[in-house]
């Protein structure tokens, strides 16, 4: 329960010795919260925890560690100014020599090639994740929880991890494996449980399940049809002049990217985590001072870009991490909606009436569920928060909208609202650049797809060629028809 909003509504969960129990669920379903309670990071509001049949009370991660419960988090917790060795050993009772002895074999197994004395700030995301995993392995806990461990790993690294997990289970250690990747889950799990909206809707031995069962369990009943609704007919005419042209845009994370976007078109940008998509969008709107190359909006060159300049020319960017970059949590929701258009709300003084009208308009149009516009944005659900951030972008009346993972962490019905919104925008002639890691989304929504890999555009797909397998292959750099995940 957070500020009176229930997140988990009556969970029963059992983990057996030596079992790999996978936990599936969309974002906001409560799987991370459940595990944080089990690992001692959050307190229980109601209910009981039993370890080996004995009731236990956990009030901190330390008490969980003492009982042999350890969670390998999704977001790596790194101490950037300390060395890798110190990072690995922090919280463990080993002296440096002993730590080295234990850690080196594990690092080698995981294929983690790194200097132990190096400062951790230099580690890549994938390496940081490996660090967290090794931390977990060093602890040989009785219960190990892996929260989305493979999101930044390659095949080889993920397979190494699974091998190690198998070996741990042979020692009787119980493993909880949280993921949203059906393929992995079907591979490694003994039991699978699906969480939706704070409750378990499925809990079965893997042998009895098919991927289709899992998908069905994760979505609310009406969403299946929703998927069809989101599928669109490709837009035929592309004879309009492009509304956005990017030429040879380069920076640290990407190089030599060129493409154009036409009014009313949805251009999907696919690729693995780390392929440079977000960095590309940040550079387009002027958040990267080191980028080179040119950006033209409706034919007009914009050399020295800033977000506010781009906004004035009708280009808005809805960032991936709404909490960090999009929303003002402690302030009234209305303030977030109007944040980009303050200069249009009055000459010298802010016109409160106009601001409220603006807010009301978007609450209606986007179906935002709140009690009052003065309500702090932090009290809204994930889906509604995302809608507020979208409202902020739309208030500018843009001609181009860049959406970076717009449906991450929101429930299924809000997701449908977003798809409908994208549809409406393109009907009105707005160009949409869509980044998403949900390949289904890309396939269903895009008129054209660009696949990025290692910072370059490696593939452009149109019409019939927009398919899950083609996109996936290109993301991994495989020839069509080659080995796919």
Partner 1 sequence: MNLFRFLRSWEFFLVVLLVVEIAVLGLINPVFFNAENLLYATLDFTHILFAALPLTLVIITAGIDISGVSIMGLASITLGLAWVAGINIFVALAIALLVGILAGAFNGFFVAKTDVNPLVITLGTLFMFAGLAQGMPALLDKLGFKAYGSAGLAAYQYEGITGLPDEFIALTEGTVGIVPYPLIAVLAFTVLLSLLLHKTRFGRSLYLIGVNPKAAEYSGVPIRKILVWAYVLSGFGAALAGTMLTSYFTSARADLGGDALLPIITAVVLGGADILGGSGTVWGTLLAGLILGFLRQGLLALGVTSDLIQVVVGALLIGAMATKQLVHVFGEYRLNRKALFRRNGR
Partner 2 sequence: MRSFLRSREALVGMLFVALLVVTGLFNPNFFKPESIVEIFNASLTLVLITLGEMFVILTRGIDVSVGAVAGLAAVVLGTTLNLGWPLGLAVAAALATGMLAGAVNAVGITLLRVPPIIMTLGTLGIYRGLMRVITGGSWIENLPQNIKEPNLWNLLGIPFFVWVGLALLALTMVLTLRVRVARYFYAVGDNEDGAYLLGLPVRWTQFAAYTLAGLFAAFAAVVFTSQIGFVSMNAADGFELKAIAANVLGGVSLTGGVGTPLGAAIGALFLTAVHSMLIFLGVPGIWDNAFAGAILLAVVYVDYRVRTALELQQRQARIRGDLSGGEPS
Q: Which residues bind partner 1 (CB under 8 A)?
A: 1-6, 9, 45-46, 287, 306-308, 310-311, 317, 319, 324-331, 335-336, 339-340, 342-343, 345, 348-350, 392
Residue 477's binding partner among partner 2, partner 1, none (Cβ under 5 to 8 angstroms by kind) is partner 2
Residue 140's binding partner among partner 1, partner 2, none (Cβ under 5 to 8 angstroms by kind) is none
User: Which of residues 342 and 465 has its CB atom nearest to partner 1 in the complex?
Assistant: 342
Under the binding rule (CB under 8 A), the answer on residue 155 touching partner 2 is yes
Q: Which residues pair with 194 in a beta bridge?
A: 24, 202
CB atoms within 10 A of CB 10: 10
* CA atoms of 387 and 368, how far apart (whole Å): 6
Under the binding rule (CB under 8 A), the answer on residue 61 touching partner 2 is yes
Residue 73's binding partner among partner 2, partner 1, none (Cβ under 5 to 8 angstroms by kind) is partner 2
User: Which of residues 350 and 468 has its CB atom nearest to partner 1 in the complex?
Assistant: 350
Report which DSSP code applies to 289: T
- Contacts of residue 13, defined as CB under 8 A and 6 or more positions apart, other chains included, come to 34, 38, 193, 200
Under the binding rule (CB under 8 A), the answer on residue 272 touching partner 2 is yes
* CA atoms of 474 and 451, how far apart (whole Å): 6
309 and 268 Cβ atoms separated by less than 8 Å: no
Quick one: how far is CA 433 from the chain centroid?
17
How many Å from the N-terminal Cα to the C-terminal Cα in the chain?
38
Stretch that binds partner 2, among 71-79, 193-201, 202-210, 439-447 (CB under 8 A): 71-79
User: Which of residues 12 and 113 has its CB atom nearest to partner 2 in the complex?
Assistant: 113
To the nearest whole angstrom, how small is the minimum distance from the Cβ of residue 434 to partner 1?
18
Residue 252's binding partner among partner 2, partner 1, none (Cβ under 5 to 8 angstroms by kind) is partner 2
Q: How far is CA 108 from CA 20, 104, 131, 148, 401, in A?
A: 23, 6, 12, 22, 45
3-state secondary structure of 466: coil
To the nearest whole angstrom, how small is the minimum distance from the Cβ of residue 315 to partner 1?
11
User: Which of residues 336 and 416 has its CB atom nearest to partner 1 in the complex?
Assistant: 336
Under the binding rule (CB under 8 A), the answer on residue 77 touching partner 2 is yes
Under the binding rule (CB under 8 A), the answer on residue 65 touching partner 2 is yes
Under the binding rule (CB under 8 A), the answer on residue 51 touching partner 2 is no
User: Which of residues 114 and 341 has its CB atom nearest to partner 2 in the complex?
Assistant: 114
Q: How far is CA 280 from CA 329, 393, 435, in A?
A: 26, 18, 11
Under the binding rule (CB under 8 A), the answer on residue 91 touching partner 2 is yes
User: Which of residues 86 and 187 has its CB atom nearest to partner 2 in the complex?
Assistant: 86
DSSP 75-132: S----TTSBHHHHHHTTS---HHHHHHHHHHHHHHTT----TTSBGGG--HHHHHHHH
Stretch that binds partner 2, among 85-93, 175-183, 198-206, 325-333 (CB under 8 A): 85-93
Under the binding rule (CB under 8 A), the answer on residue 140 touching partner 2 is no
Question: What residues between 419 and 478 interact with partner 2 by CB under 8 A?
Answer: 454-455, 476-477
User: Which of residues 319 and 383 has its CB atom nearest to partner 1 in the complex?
Assistant: 319
* CA atoms of 27 and 31, how far apart (whole Å): 8
Q: What are phi and psi of 264, to 5 degrees?
A: 75, 10
Strands of 131-283, DSSP E: 143-147, 174-179, 191-196, 199-205, 244-250, 257-261, 266-271
Which residues of this protein are in contact with partner 2, per CB under 8 A? Answer: 41, 60-62, 64-65, 71, 73, 77-82, 86, 90-91, 95, 121-127, 135, 152, 154-156, 252-253, 272, 274, 290, 454-455, 476-477
């Amino acid at each position: 329960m957070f500020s009176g909003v229930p997140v988990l509504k009556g969970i029963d969960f059992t983990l057996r010795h030596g079992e790999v129990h996978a936990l599936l669920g969309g974002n906001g379903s409560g799987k991370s919260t459940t595990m944080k309670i089990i690992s001692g990071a959050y307190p229980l509001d109601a209910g009981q925890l039993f370890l080996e049949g004995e009731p236990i009370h956990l009030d901190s991660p330390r008490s969980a560690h003492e009982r042999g419960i350890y969670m390998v988090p999704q977001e790596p917790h790194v101490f950037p100014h300390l060395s890798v060795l110190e990072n690995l050993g922090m919280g463990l009772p080993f002296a440096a020599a002993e730590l080295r002895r234990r850690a080196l074999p594990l690092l080698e197994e995981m294929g983690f090639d790194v200097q132990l004395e190096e400062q951790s700030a230099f580690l890549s995301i994938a390496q940081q994740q490996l660090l967290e995993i090794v931390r977990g392995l060093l602890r040989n806990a009785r219960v190990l929880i892996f929260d989305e461990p493979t999101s930044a790993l390659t095949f080889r690294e993920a397979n190494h991890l699974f091998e190690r997990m198998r070996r741990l289970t042979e020692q009787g250690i119980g493993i909880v494996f949280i993921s949203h990747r059906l393929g992995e889950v079907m591979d490694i799990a003994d039991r699978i449980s699906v969480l939706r909206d704070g409750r378990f809707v499925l809990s079965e031995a893997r042998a009895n399940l098919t991927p289709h069962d899992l998908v069905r369990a994760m979505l609310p009943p009406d969403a299946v049809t929703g998927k069809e609704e989101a599928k669109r007919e490709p837009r035929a005419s592309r004879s309009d002049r492009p509304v956005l042209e990017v030429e040879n845009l380069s920076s640290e994370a990407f190089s030599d990217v060129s493409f154009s976007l036409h009014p009313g078109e949805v251009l999907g940008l696919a690729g693995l985590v780390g392929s440079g998509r977000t960095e590309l969008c940040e550079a387009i709107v002027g958040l990267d001072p080191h980028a080179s190359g040119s950006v033209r909006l409706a034919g007009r060159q914009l050399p020295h870009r800033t977000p506010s300049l781009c906004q004035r020319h009708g280009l808005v960017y809805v960032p991936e991490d709404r909490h960090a970059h999009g929303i003002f949590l402690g302030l009234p929701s209305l303030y977030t909606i109007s944040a980009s258009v303050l200069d249009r709300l009055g000459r010298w003084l802010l016109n409160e009436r106009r601001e409220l009208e603006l807010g009301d308009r978007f609450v209606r149009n986007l179906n935002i569920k709140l009690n009052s516009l003065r309500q702090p944005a932090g009290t809204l659900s994930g889906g509604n928060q995302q809608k507020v951030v979208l409202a902020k972008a739309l208030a500018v009346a843009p001609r181009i909208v860049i959406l970076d993972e717009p449906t991450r962490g929101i429930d299924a019905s809000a997701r449908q609202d977003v798809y409908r919104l994208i549809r409406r925008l393109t009907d009105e002639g707005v160009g949409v650049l869509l980044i998403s890691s949900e390949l289904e989304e890309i396939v269903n929504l895009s008129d054209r797809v660009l696949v990025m890999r290692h910072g370059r555009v490696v593939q452009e797909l149109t019409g019939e060629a927009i398919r899950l397998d083609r996109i996936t292959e290109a993301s991994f750099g495989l020839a069509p028809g080659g080995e796919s995940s």
